[in-house]
C-alpha cells in the first residue's frame, strides 16, 4: 500500500504535523466532540489546580487521528505547565530517557505517543519514576558496580496508545486516569471542518462541510485533510477559495473516496475477502499474505473503521464481510 497516496490514512503525516500546530485548540472549551471525556478531564484538571498538585498520570487510547496529542497540549495549557513530547519508538536507550526525566520541572507534563512501542528496558525505568518520582541506575560493572539514585520533580505522564492491549500490566496499572477516544459523529466533524476552514481562510457552507464530514471516517485528522484537498480543487477549478458542494463531490470522485469514506484499498480488502475467501472467515495472516501488506497495518489502520460501520466482523475463526458491505459494493 502506498501510504503517500492514501488520503484517508489516519496515521499522521508531515503535512498533518505542520497543520495541526495552527489548527489545534488551546482550551478544553474549544475542543469539539468527545463530550463526556472532556467533562471528566475538566474535573480532574480543576481538582488538581485547586489542590495545587500535578495531575495524575493519564492514558489515552483509541484509533489514530482522534485528538490524543491535541488533548495533551490542551491539558498543558489548562495546567499552565510545560509539555515535553516524545514517542515510544524514539526512546531507544535508557540513558536518553533519564535525560528527559531529569530535565522535567515540577508540574511539567511528559507526553509519550505510541507508548505501547516503548522498549522493555526503558519501560522499567518508568515504573519508579511514575510511582515515587525516583530513578535508580547502575554504573560500572562487577565489583565496582554501584547504584545511583535520582530524585525527580513531581510530573504528569500522559501516554497515548492505539493498542492498549499491548501495554504491560505493571505500566497500565500506574496510570490513575484512563480515557478512550471513539470515532466522531458527522455533526461534530462538520463543526471541526467549519472552524478549520475559518482558520485557513476558506469559505464553505454547511452542506459542503457535511459532505466532507460524511467521508472523513469519523476522524478529525482525515476531515481536515479532505478539507485541504477540496480547497485545492476549488482553487484550480474555479479560481476561488470558496468550496461549494459540487466541488466537494468532484474532489471525492477524483480521489476515489465513496459515500462511506472508503478508498480503493478499503474496497480491495473487502473484495478480496468476498471473492477469494467466499466472504470469510479468514485469518489476518492469510489476508495479509494475499494483499502483500503488513498485518499490523490492516489491524491498526483499516479494520477499526470497517468494524465501526459494520462492514467487517471479527469472529473466533477470523474476519468476515457483512451483508451491509456486500450491498455497498454491489456484489451479489
Catalytic residue among 16, 108, 113, 263: 113
Residue 221 a catalytic site member: yes
> Which of 6, 19, 68, 172 does the annotation list as catalytic?
68
| Nearest alpha-carbon partner for 96 in 146, 57, 135 | 135
Quick one: which of 60, 123, 63 has its CA closest to 89? Answer: 123
CB 310 within 8 A of CB 262: no
Which one from 156, 161, 162, 219 is the annotated catalytic residue? 162
- Residue 121, sorted as left (phi over 0), alpha (psi -120 to 50) or beta, turns out to be alpha
Using N-to-C axis directions, what is the helix angle for 206-214 and 220-238, rounded to 10°?
A: 130
d(CA 228, CA 170): 42
Give the integer Cα–Cα distance in Å for 140 and 36. Answer: 51
Q: Is 60 strand, coil or helix? A: strand
CA gap 162, 292 in Å, rounded = 23
Three-class DSSP category at 137: strand
Copy the grid coordinates of residue 323: 451483508
DSSP 256: T
Q: 110's torsion region: left (phi>0), alpha (psi -120 to 50) or beta?
A: beta
Burial of residue 85 (CB within 10 Å: 0-12, 13-18, 19+) is middle
Question: Helix or strand or coil: residue 109?
Answer: strand
Which of 6, 3, 10 has the alpha carbon at shortest distance from 223? 10
Which cell goes with 209?
Answer: 462541510
162 is catalytic: yes
Let me know: does 138 contact 147? Beta carbons within 8 Å.
yes
- 13 catalytic per annotation: no
Catalytic residue, candidates 221, 225, 229, 319: 221
> Considering 6, 16, 19, 69, which one is annotated as catalytic?
69
Active site (catalytic) residues: 68-69, 113, 162, 221
Amino acid at each position: 500500500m502506498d501510504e503517500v497516496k492514501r488520503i484517508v490514512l489516519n496515521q499522521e503525516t508531515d503535512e498533518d504535523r505542520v497543520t495541526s500546530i495552527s489548527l489545534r485548540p488551546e482550551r478544553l472549551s474549544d475542543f469539539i466532540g468527545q463530550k463526556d471525556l472532556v467533562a471528566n478531564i475538566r474535573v480532574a484538571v480543576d481538582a488538581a489546580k485547586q489542590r495545587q498538585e500535578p495531575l495524575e498520570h493519564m492514558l489515552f487510547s483509541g484509533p489514530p487521528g482522534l485528538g490524543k496529542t491535541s488533548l495533551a497540549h490542551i491539558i498543558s495549557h489548562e495546567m499552565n505547565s510545560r509539555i515535553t513530547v516524545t514517542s515510544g519508538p524514539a526512546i531507544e536507550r535508557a540513558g536518553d530517557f533519564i535525560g528527559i526525566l531529569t530535565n522535567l520541572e515540577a508540574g511539567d507534563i511528559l507526553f509519550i505517543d505510541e507508548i505501547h512501542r516503548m522498549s522493555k528496558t526503558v519501560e522499567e525505568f518508568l515504573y519508579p519514576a511514575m510511582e515515587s518520582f525516583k530513578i535508580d541506575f547502575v554504573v560500572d560493572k562487577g565489583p565496582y558496580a554501584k547504584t545511583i539514585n535520582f530524585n525527580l520533580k513531581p510530573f504528569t505522564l500522559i501516554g497515548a496508545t492505539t493498542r492498549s492491549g499491548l501495554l504491560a500490566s505493571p505500566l497500565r496499572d500506574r496510570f490513575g486516569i484512563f480515557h478512550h477516544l471513539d470515532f466522531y459523529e458527522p455533526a461534530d466533524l462538520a463543526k471541526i471542518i467549519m472552524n478549520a476552514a475559518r482558520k485557513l481562510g476558506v469559505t464553505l457552507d454547511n452542506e459542503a462541510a457535511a459532505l466532507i464530514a460524511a467521508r472523513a471516517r469519523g476522524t478529525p485528522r482525515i476531515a481536515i485533510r479532505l478539507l485541504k484537498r477540496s480547497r485545492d480543487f476549488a482553487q484550480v477549478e474555479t479560481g476561488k477559495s470558496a468550496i461549494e458542494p459540487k466541488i466537494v463531490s468532484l474532489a471525492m470522485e477524483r480521489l476515489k473516496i465513496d459515500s462511506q469514506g472508503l478508498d480503493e484499498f478499503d474496497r480491495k480488502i473487502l473484495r478480496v475477502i468476498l471473492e477469494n475467501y467466499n466472504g470469510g472467515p479468514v485469518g489476518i495472516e492469510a489476508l495479509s499474505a494475499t494483499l502483500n501488506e503488513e498485518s499490523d497495518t490492516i489491524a491498526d489502520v483499516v479494520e477499526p473503521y470497517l468494524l465501526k460501520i459494520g462492514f467487517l466482523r471479527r469472529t473466533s475463526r477470523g474476519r468476515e464481510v457483512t451483508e451491509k458491505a456486500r450491498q455497498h459494493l454491489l456484489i451479489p
